[in-house]
Amino acid sequence: MLLKELTACRGVSGSEGEIRARLKALAEERGGVCTVDRMGNLIARKDGGDASAPHVLLAAHMDEVGLIVTGVRDDGLLRYKPVGGIDPRVMVSKPVLLGDGRVPGVIGAKAIHLQSEADRDRVLDHDQLYIDIGAKAKAEAEKLCPPGTYAVFDSPPESFGEGMVVSRALDDRIGCLTLLSALSHGYRGHMICAFTVQEEVGLRGAKVLGHYLEHDLVIVLETTAANDVGDVPFEKQVCGVKKGVVISHMDATSIAHPRLRSVMESIAASAGIPHQPKRYLSGGNDAGALQRAGEAKPAVVLSVPCRYIHSPASVAAEMDIQAQADLTNAFLDALPTAWAEICK
């Protein structure tokens, strides 16, 4: 399963080299002509030969949330900071891998019986946690994992339940998988597939891309927090797992172009592709940067529902992942004809 291969690659924001190299090889196998810009964004172009067709930009971020070592204590324990938004409640006792050598470590905290009553009544923040790599002293730890070393959760992708997958980095290796599907599928006009960097720390790669790429419209392929389990009221559930790809009206950083969104919904309905709206406004993504860059372009976001996002064990449904790819490819087929409706 290609998704498992993509999620196994490391790519914390600012350290995307491993996942970028693999995506570049996969994109070139599918006919993409690839370049890498100074920011680290991977751009794969594929021209179908029809100069009259609108130029389409498909984008997904290749980076993932993770950790970076900020210092080493005298006892050999590592201080760290999160890279991207990670809830400290998911951290304690989780295994991690550090640096190119994949040094094993575990997130530690003061033993519960040594914590104060106040500590036990609140969530320990990241600055009260540490990474234990088994080092006996500072010098040993610094040799293995000096400050600046990146860490990822050690949580290999696995099949899960009925038609589900559990892994770190589903956000947004799922979108990257859909870009590869689009390259294989092809488009009669000029298509750009952008695998962006540093989305998790402020859409930084997309902010650069939007100012130099030439395109007529933007489709961002993402994941979104489902929030559909437990006692969450229906009106606060963002979307539902196994209910199809999410076609967003709005999120925290962008508002979908209304006619582009309407065309996308019509194509999904006509093709029988499972789809749903985003019921509760949350999160942001590269559309917030790409929509406003340069001369501004029509944009819409297609997301896959994902439980426990930004954690070591994110969960998504294979049918929702397939729906995102199916709708993207169906839209590419319909785009030259639908362009007049979008532009009117």
First to last CA, the chain: 41
Cα gap 188→330, rounded to integer Å? 12
Query: Is 199 one of the catalytic residues?
Result: yes
Nearest to 312 by CA among 151, 154, 197: 154
Specify the DSSP element, H or E, that contains 3.
helix 2-8
Cα gap 110→243, rounded to integer Å? 42
CA angle in degrees (0–180, nearest 5) for 96-206-253 = 90
Cα gap 125→136, rounded to integer Å? 24
Nearest to 287 by CA among 298, 297, 277, 299: 299
Cα gap 161→168, rounded to integer Å? 16
- Tokens representing residue 328 in the block: 């993207």
- Hey, is 49 helix, strand or coil? coil
Annotated active-site residue in 199, 265, 295, 318:
199
**Active site members:** 199
